[in-house]
Structure 1
Amino acid sequence: MADPTVANSPSVSERPYGTWPSAVTTALVAGKTVGLSAVQTDGDAIFWLETRPSDAGRTVLVRWRAQEGAVDITPAPLDVGTRVHEYGGGAYAASGGRVAFSNRTDGSVWIVEADAPARAISTLGGLRFADFAFDPAGDRLFCVREDHRAGGEPVSTLVALPLAGGDPATQEGQVLVSGPDFVSSPRPSPDGRSLAWIEWDHPSMPWEATRLRLARLARDVDGGCALDDVRTLAGDGDPESVIEPAWADARVLYAASDRSGWWNLLRFTLPDGAAAPVAPMEAEIGLPHWVFGQSSYRPLPDGSILAIAIDHGEGRTIHIARGTDRPATVHTINLGYPAQCPAPLPDGSLAWIDTPPDGPPAIVRCRDGAPPEVLRAATTLPLTPGDIARAETIRFPLPDGPGGAQHGHAFFYPPASSRFRGPADEKPPLIVMAHGGPTGRASEAFSFKVQWWTSRGFAVVDVNYGGSTGFGRAYRRRLDGKWGEIDVADCIAACRHLIETGRVDPHRIAIRGSSAGGLTVLLALARSSLFAAGASLYGVTDLRALAQETHKFESRYLDSLVGPYPAAEAIYLARSPLTQASGIRAPVLFLHGLDDAVVPPGQARAMAQALADNSIPHAHYEFPGESHGFRREETIRRALELELDFYGQVFGFTVPDVGERVVMRA
């Protein structure tokens, strides 16, 4: 909450909400802020990825060691990333002084050994690789390969890729697992004798039903390998989402499963592979598998487990100690706000990305409860505590209990400034945020997508509508067959709660969302007069086209969210914003990347044309070189300014210091 002492200080000037000058500039958000992700440790080295908007959105692999500090180990033009499943993740692995990584631009795979220059081991066109794991007993990488060479739907396999590189056949990798529609998480046991992995098939998504598989690794004299004694450890019975396998030692394998209704840990003991729950709880240790390489927990050398548990949408770090003759004990520990589970180092310290609610992300290292040492901050923040809006968790009533729930969940952010306050007789305008996915969640972590608005005098509510993760399987499944209904109803209910409690101006409410959130935005505008404006960033507008045009990973996603296509075509039509455009009366802003393969740019074009046909004010902007999400500095700057000016025009105030004014058409 904003500090009332600061707000009433004589040095604070009164200005209309939405017009406050802010230190959260486009230069800070887009140029001076890097994206931090994917922390790993190898010996005493800490690795992470930095996405740099000022370098055309290029992602660099960085290594930190005490004796040298942080150094880039992937020079330009290498861009660390992968487009497997389009969303990527798992773009590198570090082990034994070696690092393997994928180059986003062409899908090639590279190796860095010690301090030698990077060398390519696979450069074949049409192949994409991800989710790397070094073989403890050989010179190869286990990884997921997505083959686009034949055209049409790509083929996903699990392969062993020799580190030596060589002729084209070698660069393809040796196929170990084929047949399932999708594979992920190849994890060799520490002794190199076994391999675990996850697989699943259409129409399931990985948060609906997967299988945990295990096999013995058989090796030949020529250095090849094969899988023997293949069996399923979990996922053969009732549908369950089994994710994130990790070995504690050669005989103990862990994974997260939602068979209890929550992603909780299971312990599989070899050779029989019997499963036993570890510390059951009504909290989630696991995240939806949108990207590879996620880490929600880590087995530690002493047999205990460090994990991130998401409890009612909020993350906390826990330590699970397993007793020999008693149930496991769970303790919450204060490690700040890790985005993913901290990674251990040999000296007992831990490294992670800290994502506090009142400051930008940072790579940190900590030992024995000492204050974390910041190794790299995403940016230097020119804000005082009074300038930062902090998340307030709210539960709002769902009067009719749509989807079987009585309460919805959201994070509310009031306007915050150490220099300005709104007039006493005025309430702030509200920005409603509908997250993407829709299987995802809003987080309480500091975010410029929130602070950009709150520092200017807007209130923000980030809604964890039905279907969001972090609240158990039942809440996640509220959206089954109801996408475009439950999410819209929950966003409307959140607004009504804030209006009834006197927090916001009921006449100045805008709703914004990206990707799946764009569909929620447009349907909310079509079905409710609450919203004065909407912004759709690379949003879904035509469900029929999406079912036919989107990439393989999501090509059957709509089976559970809407219904099987084409059998449920009538529902697809009823839930598509494109067919509901006649119900929209509020102005709409569309922002879309021209290289988007997830939601093709034609979706926004068609919707903009439908609004034009109905003489509804709208603005439509496209960005060359951008795909599903914006990475380049110039794009991020322009998108922020366009959206701010758009709301200024709709709400009737002049926005200062905007380089480009939105041109609306009707």
Structure 2
Amino acid sequence: MMAVPSAEKVVKGFKEYHSLAATPQGVAWVESNPVTGRNRLYFSQLGSVTAITPEESSVRSRVNEYGGVAWTRVDNAFAWVNAADQQIWISPYPADDPILSCPEVSVPLTSTPQRRFADLVYDGQHQRLLAVCEIAVDEASEPQQSIVSIDCTTGAVLDILQGADFYAYPRLSPDGKTLVWIEWQHPHQPWLFTQFKLIQLEDGHPVISTQTQLANNASWLQPRFLPNGDLVALGDPDNWWNPYVFKQTEQGYPQASPLLDEILPVEFTTAPWALGLSTFAWDEQGHLHALVQEQGYSRYWRFDAQTKAKHSVTLPFSRLSSLSLSSTHAYCVAESEDRYPGVVALDLVELTWKIIVGADTPDHPVSLPQPYWIKTTNACDVQSFYYPPLTPPSQLTQEPSAPPLILLTHGGPTSATYPVLNPRVQYWTSAGFAVADINYRGSCGYGREFRCTLAGGWGRAEVEDVEHLVDQLVNDGLAHPDALFIRGQSAGGYTTLMALIHSARFKAGASLYGVSDLLPLHAHTHKFESHYLSWLVGDESEMSQPERSPVHLAHALQAEGVIFFQGLQDPVVVPEQTHAMVAALKAAGKAVEAIYFADEAHGFRLALHQQQVLERELAFYMGFLF
């Protein structure tokens, strides 16, 4: 029988990469290390990889709590957001001799403790940074957002645009005379409705009378200037996030039209939970390069500058993100079904690829995802990914007719899961479990209409999808009806709890920092999601209905047990949510376990804690097998 790889091994080998950008000399990215729990900025030039930021620091913004891109190149240095104080620091460009490079000489640029920064852009003409800024007013009020200018010499911070609830993507025209950005207001989320705006600059300062709204009838993201002055942004007024062009005329920028002359049934971006997403760019010949999402998978497409003909570049990866181009290469973060994440480069002429860092192959067998579609309520097609077990559960004397199954419900809920190597999935399949990962109704990557099918129906629609999925898996002999488990984190924890309450199909489940009580969440969660529940559920009277919150339904739990994991520093789903649910289940006489991490927040960053979760969760499930 095959040995199960240890939880420690599968977790520690899994580094993540994000916030990638090409520079004239190479490419830089942020690496998330599970051993230290920190994010560090690295730079690659001519095959040599150098650390830019100090080892004890972490590059991370907390704007909107989810942050986003938190660094940019500034002449011969790098500006980055320090997780510890949320201030912008400066690190020198690495010396030609790696021995002389010293990230420890990094120094702070700003000194404004009440401010946070993200989505940094360098304005070389005025020796300043532009950034999205979030400033704390007082504990009783929401933080205020603005677009700010930061002097690269003095660190002085100046608010240049204010008034919207949220800002994103400040971008300058090539001549530095025009600024565009995305903003949105409560109660909307950026994947529902945003406003695409423009303003003229004079000596770097906005001329308020020139402010213009370019679009507001959809979700607009990632604005870019073309060299000829035209503007391009991603929008979904025709269901799919596609590129639209706003052509510059003497009268300004008239109504947008599809850049590719037709709407393609794919998404050119993922949901904007983080700031600074980059999924399309042009090379020096004018060809458009794009990372698109098509039926759960990422594709790399290049569109001809003249004919707009599409060329699909074949890459051995199932998820691509963070695209950036130099004069010779396209760089992106790549994930696949059987490799760890990595940074890869694509030669723009030969269209051949190479690994810059990461993308290693595990030294243990891997269960590969199989696309698995179901038809759910209202004849809606829902995709999931099925991972077959690599071996029967070790403690069983006979192999069952069908394997035990763990069903995963992703967070968000306006997010998605992808067919990529996941250490948790591999740990469970090595232990004899099948795993199914579902993109229930409301997930991203399948168009705006599908994304909006969850409106008002959270806790009901996706639970129906979960039930349809396990029923079909059982009917197909891919899961044992007496050994079904379900787990989810954050919003997925809410779905998990609702499924355990309303369905008798599941033996047990796991909630990781999951939502259990809607009304207190609505009242106490952070600004970015403070009106999200109004769209997902309804007004406060609907949120207060007992049937909408698991904490009021603990007595009706149909599963045999639930295990909880919660970070005590979580500002999104506050610890009181888990405390209340655990107490309600205990009062109802249900089997419950709870594990708390004092120094974790929304998501567990340290490898040690991730390891403990895997080990405790697997042991919990094993106790309910047959």
Counterpart of 2:244 in structure 1 is 266
Counterpart of 2:227 in structure 1 is 249
* Counterparts of residues 129-278 of structure 1 (less than 5 Å): 129-151=117-139, 152-166=141-155, 170=156, 173-219=157-203, 229-235=210-216, 239-249=217-227, 251-271=229-249, 272-274=252-254, 275-278=256-259
| Alpha-carbon distance, 1:287 to partner | 1.4
| Contact 2:408–2:436, Cα closer than 8 Å, also in 1 | yes
| Alpha-carbon distance, 1:95 to partner | 5.2
Q: Does 2:603 align with 1:640?
A: no
| Contact 1:189–1:250, Cα closer than 8 Å, also in 2 | no
| Structure 1: gaps of 5 or more residues | 1-12, 14-19, 653-666
| Alpha-carbon distance, 1:332 to partner | 1.5
| Alpha-carbon distance, 1:473 to partner | 0.7
Q: 1:425 to 1:119 in 2, by over 3 A?
A: closer
Q: 1:352 to 1:605 in 2, by over 3 A?
A: same
| Contact 1:248–1:303, Cα closer than 8 Å, also in 2 | no
Query: Which amino acid in structure 1 is aligned with residue 88 of structure 2?
Result: V
Q: 1:179 to 1:342 in 2, by over 3 A?
A: closer
Q: Does 2:437 align with 1:426?
A: no
Counterpart of 1:357 in structure 2 is 337
User: Residue 226 of structure 2: SS of its match in structure 1?
Assistant: strand
1:270-301 per-residue CA deviation (whole Å, 9 max, x = no partner) reads: 24213220222111111111001211211222
Q: Distance between the aligned counterparts of 2:497 and 2:571, measured in 1?
A: 21
User: Residue 54 of structure 1: SS of its match in structure 2?
Assistant: coil
User: Residue 651 of structure 1: SS of its match in structure 2?
Assistant: coil
Q: Does 2:380 align with 1:406?
A: yes
Q: Distance between the aligned counterparts of 2:76 and 2:285, measured in 1?
A: 24
Q: Percent identity between the aligned chains?
A: 31
Counterpart of 1:4 in structure 2 is none
Query: Which amino acid in structure 2 is aligned with residue 607 of structure 1?
Result: M
Query: Which amino acid in structure 2 is aligned with residue 508 of structure 1?
Result: A
Q: Distance between the aligned counterparts of 2:464 and 2:393, measured in 1?
A: 36
Select the residue among 108, 112, 123 that pairs with 1:120.
Answer: 108
| Alpha-carbon distance, 1:448 to partner | 1.1
Q: Does 2:554 align with 1:581?
A: yes
Q: Does 2:358 align with 1:377?
A: yes
* Counterparts of residues 621-632 of structure 1 (less than 5 Å): 621-632=595-606
| Alpha-carbon distance, 1:250 to partner | 5.2
Q: 1:134 to 1:418 in 2, by over 3 A?
A: farther
Larger deviation, residues 466-475 vs 225-234: 225-234
Q: Does 2:291 align with 1:318?
A: no
| Alpha-carbon distance, 1:179 to partner | 0.7
Q: Does 2:17 align with 1:36?
A: yes
1:167-224 per-residue CA deviation (whole Å, 9 max, x = no partner) reads: xxx2xx211111110001111112211111000000000000001111111117xxx6
Select the residue among 438, 451, 467 that pairs with 2:426.
Answer: 451
Counterpart of 1:16 in structure 2 is none
Query: Which amino acid in structure 2 is aligned with residue 197 of structure 1?
Result: W
| Alpha-carbon distance, 1:114 to partner | 2.7
| Alpha-carbon distance, 1:419 to partner | 13
Counterpart of 1:22 in structure 2 is 4
Counterpart of 2:57 in structure 1 is 78
Q: Distance between the aligned counterparts of 2:208 and 2:7, measured in 1?
A: 52
Relative contact order higher in (CA < 8 Å, ≥ 6 apart): 1
Query: Which amino acid in structure 2 is aligned with residue 154 of structure 1?
Result: P
| Contact 2:17–2:32, Cα closer than 8 Å, also in 1 | yes
Q: 1:189 to 1:606 in 2, by over 3 A?
A: same
Query: Which amino acid in structure 1 is aligned with residue 592 of structure 2?
Result: H
Query: Which amino acid in structure 1 is aligned with residue 123 of structure 2?
Result: D
| Contact 2:146–2:159, Cα closer than 8 Å, also in 1 | yes
Q: 1:139 to 1:193 in 2, by over 3 A?
A: same
Q: 1:569 to 1:356 in 2, by over 3 A?
A: closer
1:60-96 per-residue CA deviation (whole Å, 9 max, x = no partner) reads: 10111116x1111111332100111011111112254
| Alpha-carbon distance, 1:269 to partner | 1.9
Q: Distance between the aligned counterparts of 1:74 and 1:341, measured in 2?
A: 20
| Structure 2: gaps of 5 or more residues | 95-101
Q: 1:540 to 1:474 in 2, by over 3 A?
A: same
1:626-654 per-residue CA deviation (whole Å, 9 max, x = no partner) reads: 000000122111111111111111226xx
| Contact 1:42–1:97, Cα closer than 8 Å, also in 2 | no
| Contact 1:539–1:604, Cα closer than 8 Å, also in 2 | yes
User: Residue 321 of structure 2: SS of its match in structure 1?
Assistant: coil
Q: Does 2:346 align with 1:366?
A: yes
| Alpha-carbon distance, 1:58 to partner | 1.1
| Contact 1:42–1:96, Cα closer than 8 Å, also in 2 | no
User: Residue 210 of structure 2: SS of its match in structure 1?
Assistant: strand
| Contact 2:70–2:81, Cα closer than 8 Å, also in 1 | yes
Larger deviation, residues 278-287 vs 208-217: 278-287
Q: 1:164 to 1:227 in 2, by over 3 A?
A: farther
Counterpart of 2:86 in structure 1 is 107
| Alpha-carbon distance, 1:252 to partner | 2.0
Q: Distance between the aligned counterparts of 2:75 and 2:142, measured in 1?
A: 36
| Contact 2:11–2:34, Cα closer than 8 Å, also in 1 | yes
| Contact 2:199–2:207, Cα closer than 8 Å, also in 1 | no
User: Residue 464 of structure 2: SS of its match in structure 1?
Assistant: helix
| Contact 1:364–1:376, Cα closer than 8 Å, also in 2 | yes
Larger deviation, residues 195-204 vs 269-278: 269-278
| Contact 2:245–2:257, Cα closer than 8 Å, also in 1 | yes
| Alpha-carbon distance, 1:441 to partner | 0.6
Larger deviation, residues 173-182 vs 104-113: 104-113
Q: 1:246 to 1:98 in 2, by over 3 A?
A: farther
| Contact 1:63–1:70, Cα closer than 8 Å, also in 2 | yes
1:406-447 per-residue CA deviation (whole Å, 9 max, x = no partner) reads: 322111111126999995553110000000000001101111
Select the residue among 22, 26, 30 that pairs with 1:45.
Answer: 26
Q: Distance between the aligned counterparts of 2:471 and 2:301, measured in 1?
A: 36
Q: Distance between the aligned counterparts of 1:468 and 1:93, measured in 2?
A: 31
| Contact 1:85–1:553, Cα closer than 8 Å, also in 2 | yes
| Contact 2:166–2:185, Cα closer than 8 Å, also in 1 | yes
Larger deviation, residues 585-594 vs 449-458: 449-458
| Alpha-carbon distance, 1:524 to partner | 0.2
Q: Distance between the aligned counterparts of 2:271 and 2:42, measured in 1?
A: 26
| Alpha-carbon distance, 1:122 to partner | 0.8
Query: Which amino acid in structure 2 is aligned with residue 175 of structure 1?
Result: D
Q: Distance between the aligned counterparts of 2:114 and 2:11, measured in 1?
A: 32
| Contact 2:20–2:322, Cα closer than 8 Å, also in 1 | no
Q: Distance between the aligned counterparts of 1:380 and 1:94, measured in 2?
A: 32
| Contact 2:392–2:432, Cα closer than 8 Å, also in 1 | no
Q: 1:555 to 1:619 in 2, by over 3 A?
A: same
User: Residue 478 of structure 1: SS of its match in structure 2?
Assistant: helix
Select the residue among 293, 302, 319 that pairs with 2:276.
Answer: 293
Counterpart of 1:308 in structure 2 is 291
Counterpart of 1:392 in structure 2 is 370
